[in-house]
Amino acid sequence: MGTIALLAALALLAMLAIAVTLAIRARQMHIWLGSYLRRRPPRVTDKPIHVMFCFVDHFEPMWGKVDLATQRARVDRWCRDYRTLADAHRDADGRPPQHSFFYPEEEYREEHLEKLAALCADGYGEIEIHLHHDNDTPENFRTTIDRFNRLLHERHNALPRDPNTGQLRFAFIHGNWCLDNSRADGRWCGLNNELILLRELGCYADFTLPSAPSETQTRMINAIYYATDDPTRPKSHDTGEPVRVGGKPSGDLLIVQGPLGLNWRSRRFGIIPRIESADVRRACPPTPDRVDAWIKTGVHVEGRPEWVFVKIHTHGTQERDMDTLLGEAAHRMHNHLEQAYNDGKRYVLHYVTAREVYNIIKAAEAGLTGNPHDYRDYELPPPGVLTTAKAQIA
């Protein structure tokens, strides 16, 4: 084959690769792209923009079915290096970055939770619930979550109690993104009534989304909303009722989404924009332009556009990503947040846990204004505390 023919063949292969990629992306994106294109930017406000920055972690020490020594090394590095990272940064309230560790029930090991609990007790975050399951039943799901709730609370001082009912409350991330049986083939869940079950078990909000490019991604994006379960059908959280100022809770479960869109500054083959799904790892580091895009998305409670919620996620125990999550890339992310979004005039930065996100959302829904820092414990207190700021305000 001559040089010209070889170059032509290579060009054809490149064009085919681009066409295949476009076809795959189109199939993956059709679920949510219409919502993205129709969405209007948040209303411009002359008030300072309060940025609630929440980092949630699918924290899986046993990822890859590694041995105990590797698990220990992963947890130990987080408990050592996250302190160093967080101690170098502060928000407008003087708090360090907060990390919400969504720990998998099926990976429970007491010594790992003891170390994480100590890290959280020192003021660096909180522990919540993560679960991978497949072909499950309502009875087994109830038993599993209830047992894990009590274990985390009684042995590790995690999870708050509802001050009105005494029930343990928790945030949830579904393993493999498959909340409410949302894969077309039914794998990695099995429960069409999972939203109802979570509500009954004490879940105050789900933090799974966004999940693009997975088919489990919902049509409703960049939103905080109530989803109503249809126990006869899967993926009932595909749409819902937005949380709004002066509104009332509805449905079965509050869904808190992170930003989702297209990143035109990062393109495959120089043509195809990458999906921005708020995922942070080595392959997609938290660059300043990504931080800007997250905040510009403006996820908020309707009627309170000056309170912006930025929920990003990671899988923190994978070695290939730890340098990004605990090293210079993370420092640059926080430096940019603190320099560009914490001047006290145009922007005010708040590092928040998943529980605090929920409380501030509920305060906005109730019509409260001012500094969202005042509402970190508005409805649900920190683990081990029985009184709330809501009671004090009333």
Q: What is the pLDDT of residue 2?
A: 67
Mean pLDDT within 282-292: 97
Whole-number Å distance between alpha carbons of 99 and 53: 10
Mean pLDDT within 234-245: 98
Which amino acid, 11?
Answer: A
Instruction: Phi first, then psi: give them for residue 226, nearest 5 degrees.
Output: -95, 130
Per-residue pLDDT band for 35 (boundaries 50, 70, 90) equals: confident
Q: Is residue 11 predicted with pLDDT exceeding 80?
A: no
Whole-structure pTM value: 0.91
CA-nearest of 350, 351, 354, 348 to 382 is 354
Our measurement of the distance from residue 39's CA atom to the centroid of its chain's CA atoms, rounded to an integer in Å, reads 21
* H helix count then E strand count, the chain: 11, 12
Whole-number Å distance between alpha carbons of 182 and 268: 28
Q: What is the pLDDT of residue 270?
A: 59
Instruction: Phi first, then psi: give them for residue 57, nearest 5 degrees.
Output: -130, 120
Per-residue pLDDT reduced to its tens digit, 363-386: 999 999 999 999 999 999 999 876
Mean pLDDT within 181-199: 97
Q: Is residue 7 predicted with pLDDT exceeding 80?
A: no
Mean pLDDT within 109-124: 98
Cα dist. 350→26, 335, 371, 378, 392 in Å? 36, 14, 10, 15, 21
CA-nearest of 253, 189, 188, 179 to 216 is 179
Assigned token pair, 259: 């930003």
Whole-number Å distance between alpha carbons of 350 and 50: 7
Assigned token pair, 107: 């990976």
Instruction: Phi first, then psi: give them for residue 381, nearest 5 degrees.
Output: -75, 170
Q: Is residue 8 predicted with pLDDT exceeding 60?
A: no
Per-residue pLDDT reduced to its tens digit, 219-236: 999 999 999 999 999 999
Q: What is the pLDDT of residue 16?
A: 44
Q: Is residue 278 predicted with pLDDT exceeding 80?
A: yes
Cα dist. 150→83, 143, 154 in Å? 27, 11, 6
DSSP summary character for residue 279: B
Percent of the chain with pLDDT over 90: 82
Assigned token pair, 23: 């076809």
Mean pLDDT within 266-282: 79
Per-residue pLDDT reduced to its tens digit, 38-95: 777 776 678 899 999 999 999 999 999 999 999 999 999 999 999 999 999 999 999 9
CA-nearest of 263, 258, 192, 180 to 216 is 180
Q: Is residue 170 predicted with pLDDT exceeding 50?
A: yes
Sign of the Cα torsion 129, 134, 136, 140 reads: negative
Sign of the Cα torsion 140, 146, 150, 151 reads: positive
- Pairing label, strands 49-58, 99-104: parallel
Domains of the chain (ranges; CATH) run: 48-393 (3.20.20)
Q: What is the pLDDT of residue 267?
A: 56
Q: Hunting for tokens 């605990």 — which residue is that?
A: 326
